[in-house]
Amino acid sequence: MEIHASMAAEALFHIGPFTVTNTMLTTWVVIAFLTVLAILATRRMSLVPESRLQNLMELIVEFLLDLSEKTAGPRVGRAVFPLIATLFIFILTANWFGILPIVGTITLCDPHHPGHCVPVFRAATSDLNITAAMALIAITTVQVVGVTVNGVRGYLKELTTPLLLAPIHLIGEISHVVSLSARLFGNIFGGEVLLVVMFALVPYFVPIVFMGLEMFFGFIQALIFSVLTIVYIALAAGGHGGGEEHAEAHS
C-alpha cells in the first residue's frame, strides 16, 4: 500500500483564478457542520434545557466562558469569549474530523496524469496556511485589546520600554504567531502521518487505539491554542494598568 503524506495542501480544482485545496474543502465542510449544529441546538431553546444537544452546547459554553473569565478577568474575558469559543470549537471539530475514515481515503485522480491522485478531504489543521491564519487573528486581537485597554501611548510605552529591548519585544509578538500556528500544524500533521502509517502496516485493532489517542491529542491541541490566546490577551490587557485583570493574568 502506497503511503501518501504531503506537507502542502493539494489542489482539487479551480474556480477561475481561485484554487480550492483539500484542506479548504474540509474547512468548508466543518463550518457547514457547525452551522447546522448551532441551528439545531438553538431553534427550540428553553430556560430549562429539554434536549441533550442544548445541554451539551450549554456545557461547552459554560466551560469556555469560565475559562476566559478566570484567565483574563470578567470584563476582558467576557469580551473576548466569542473569539475563544470560536477558535476552540472549530479547532476541536476540525481535528476530530481529520480522524474520520473518509479523510485521506477518498481520492480525486487527474485524467491527464495517470496515477496522480490526491485525497479529497484532509484535516484542516494539518495545513500551515489555516493554522497561521487563525494565529494571526488571535495575535491581532491581542494587539487590539492592548491598545483598547491601555491606550496607544501606554501600549507603545510597554512595547518600547526599555528602548534597547524594543526589537526583542517585537520579535516576541511575531514568535507568538509562529508558535501558535506551528505547534498546531506540527501535532496534527504528525498524527495524520502516524495514522496513515499504522493503517498501512496494521489495518485492524492497533489503528483504533491510535485513533482514540488522536482524539485526545486533538482536544488537547484545541485547548492549548485557546488557552494561550487567552493568556496573551490577559497579559496585553493587564500588563500596563494593574487591577483585576492584571492580577488574574499573572496568578
> What pLDDT band is residue 214 in, cutting at 50, 70 and 90?
confident
**CB-side exposure of 85: number of CA atoms within 13 Å?**
19
Mean pLDDT is highest, among 126-140, 150-164, 207-221, for 126-140
Between CA 182 and CA 136 the distance in angstroms is 12
Range of the domain at 60: 11-250
The three three-digit cell numbers of residue 101, written as one number: 475514515
**How large a percentage of the chain has pLDDT more than 90?**
30
Which helix (H) or strand (E) element contains residue 169?
helix 166-201
Which helix (H) or strand (E) element contains residue 109?
strand 107-109
What residues have CB less than 8 Å from 91, skipping those under 6 apart?
Answer: 125, 134, 184, 221, 222, 225, 226
As for how many domains the chain has, the answer is 1
Q: Is residue 5 part of a domain?
A: no
Q: Is residue 4 part of a domain?
A: no
Between CA 119 and CA 179 the distance in angstroms is 28
Angstrom distances, CA of residue 241 to CA of 73, 177, 238 = 13, 24, 6
Between CA 95 and CA 130 the distance in angstroms is 12
Please give the residue that has the higher pLDDT: either 29 or 121. Answer: 29
* Res 112 pLDDT > 70: no
Check residue 74 and give its pLDDT: 87
* Res 142 pLDDT > 70: yes
Q: Is residue 189 part of a domain?
A: yes
Check residue 3 and give its pLDDT: 47
Q: Is residue 145 part of a domain?
A: yes
The residue-averaged pLDDT of 167-178 equals 83
**How large a percentage of the chain has pLDDT more than 70?**
83
Check residue 203 and give its pLDDT: 65
Please give the residue that has the higher pLDDT: either 70 or 113. Answer: 70
What residues have CB less than 8 Å from 96, skipping those under 6 apart?
Answer: 215, 218
Between CA 168 and CA 112 the distance in angstroms is 51
**CB-side exposure of 218: number of CA atoms within 13 Å?**
25
The residue-averaged pLDDT of 74-91 equals 92
Q: Is residue 51 part of a domain?
A: yes
Q: Is residue 195 part of a domain?
A: yes
* Res 246 pLDDT > 50: no
Q: Is residue 3 part of a domain?
A: no
Between CA 131 and CA 3 the distance in angstroms is 24
Check residue 164 and give its pLDDT: 63
> What pLDDT band is residue 244 in, cutting at 50, 70 and 90?
very low
Q: Is residue 79 part of a domain?
A: yes
